[in-house]
């Protein structure tokens, strides 16, 4: 499976610093699902959010050079935190920073795939993928990390993609505070329920998530949007239960 976690889950809302308690719960949940129970790739946002305090910023930087500099600082902080936390569970981590060319160019795509599959062959390694924000811009961007997670899932032919956000799933009529839609068979039918509001450290809102989800399910990958602040739900979600919105994968057309 591929698990994507957003900046809003990994950082504190009040000051955008890394939230150690949230990170620990996330790592614990993932560690229980690797090894003999399966393989997991983590697509993690949070590099920019982790680095902004070093620059005295209070919101996501808009100027490109500042964003890339902040990411350079934040990525080291983020990986240091992951390495230390996963070590408690005797799980190793690997870092892969990618740009659009790593999925667009045939040779680079093949190399990325081979590296991921080799890492997944190891029983206690979690590959952690992020966009290389220190060099990615314009045409070099994959998109937001929801789309990056989809591209990674496509590459390794993942069975499932779980997108951890700061809410329990996709809300139906009435928006946040209403009822979560448990199962969606047609993504196009729920785009009107997507609210544009997003956290100050976030790059994309629900519409961006649904765009990524549509690509995933059209490619045959079941996708779930769930609350990353409740990562202990991951095992149930993997097993077809749990609180989330589950987007069913489209079956390939029969000839």
pLDDT digit string, tens, across residues 63-112: 888 988 998 999 999 999 999 999 999 999 999 999 888 999 999 999 99
* CA–CA gap between residue 59 and residue 65 (Å, rounded): 15
Q: What pLDDT was estimated at residue 196?
A: 57
82 φ/ψ angles, rounded to the nearest 5 degrees: -65, -45
Q: What pLDDT was estimated at residue 255?
A: 47
Which residue did the predictor score with more confidence, 89 or 196? 89
Confidence of residue 212 (pLDDT cuts 50, 70, 90): very high
- Model pLDDT for residues 216-231, shown as the tens digit of each residue: 999 999 999 999 999 9
Measured from the Cβ of residue 177, the count of other Cβ atoms closer than 10 Å reads 6
* CA–CA gap between residue 91 and residue 192 (Å, rounded): 41
Contact 202, 7 (CB under 8 A): yes
Q: Where are the domains of the chain?
A: 2-247
Q: What pLDDT was estimated at residue 143?
A: 59
* Range with lowest mean pLDDT among 76-85, 157-166, 201-210, 242-251: 201-210
> Across residues 9-14, what is the average pLDDT?
83
Q: What pLDDT was estimated at residue 203?
A: 52
Q: What pLDDT was estimated at residue 139?
A: 46
Closest to 108 (Cα-Cα) out of 215, 133, 100: 100
- Model pLDDT for residues 135-175, shown as the tens digit of each residue: 765 544 555 889 999 999 999 999 999 999 989 999 987 66
Q: What pLDDT was estimated at residue 252?
A: 66
Contact 40, 78 (CB under 8 A): no
Q: Does domain 2-247 have CATH number 3.40.50.11540?
A: no
* CA–CA gap between residue 67 and residue 124 (Å, rounded): 33
Express as a percent the part of the chain with pLDDT over 90: 59
> Across residues 230-238, what is the average pLDDT?
94
3-class secondary structure for the chain? CEEEECHHHHECCCCCCECHHHHHHHHHHHHCCCECCECCEEEECCHHHHHHHHHCCCCCCCCHHHHHHHHHHHHHHHHHHHHHHHHCCCCEEEEEEECCHHHHCHHHHHHHHHHHHHHHHCCCEEEEEEECCCCCCHHHCCCCHHHHHHHHHHHHCCCEEEEEECCCCCECCCCCCCCECCEECCHHHHHHHCCCCCCCCCCCCHHHHHHHHHHHHHCCCEEEEEECCCHHHHHHHHCCCCCCEEECCCCCCCC
- Token pair of 157, please? 């032919």
Q: What pLDDT was estimated at residue 72?
A: 93
Q: What pLDDT was estimated at residue 248?
A: 96
Q: What pLDDT was estimated at residue 89?
A: 93
- Token pair of 173, please? 């009529």
List Cα–Cα distances, 63 to 59, 103, 115, 227, in angstroms.
12, 26, 33, 30
* Range with lowest mean pLDDT among 14-28, 92-106, 228-242: 14-28
């Amino acid at each position: 499976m591929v698990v994507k976690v957003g900046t809003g889950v990994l950082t504190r809302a009040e000051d955008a610093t890394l939230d150690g308690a949230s990170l620990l719960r996330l790592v614990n949940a993932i560690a229980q699902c690797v090894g003999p129970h399966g393989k997991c790739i983590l697509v993690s946002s949070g590099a920019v959010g982790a680095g902004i305090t070093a620059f005295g910023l209070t919101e996501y930087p808009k100027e490109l050079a500042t964003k890339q500099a902040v990411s350079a600082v934040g990525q080291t902080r983020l990986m240091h935190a992951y390495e230390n936390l996963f070590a408690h569970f005797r799980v190793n981590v690997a870092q892969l920073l990618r740009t659009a060319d790593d999925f667009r160019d045939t040779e680079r795509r093949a190399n990325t795939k081979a590296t991921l599959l080799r890492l997944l062959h190891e029983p206690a390694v979690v590959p952690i993928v992020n966009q290389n924000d220190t060099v990615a811009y314009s045409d070099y961007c994959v998109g937001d990390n929801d789309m990056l997670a989809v591209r990674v899932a496509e590459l390794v032919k993942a069975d499932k993609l779980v997108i951890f956000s700061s809410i329990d799933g996709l809300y139906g009529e009435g928006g946040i505070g209403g009822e979560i839609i448990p199962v969606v068979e047609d993504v196009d039918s729920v785009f009107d329920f997507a609210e544009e509001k997003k956290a100050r450290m976030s790059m994309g809102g629900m519409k961006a998530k649904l765009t990524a989800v549509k690509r995933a399910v059209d490619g045959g990958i079941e996708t779930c949007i769930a609350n990353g602040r409740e990562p202990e739900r991951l095992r149930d979600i993997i097993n077809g239960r749990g609180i989330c919105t589950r987007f069913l994968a489209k079956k390939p057309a029969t000839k």
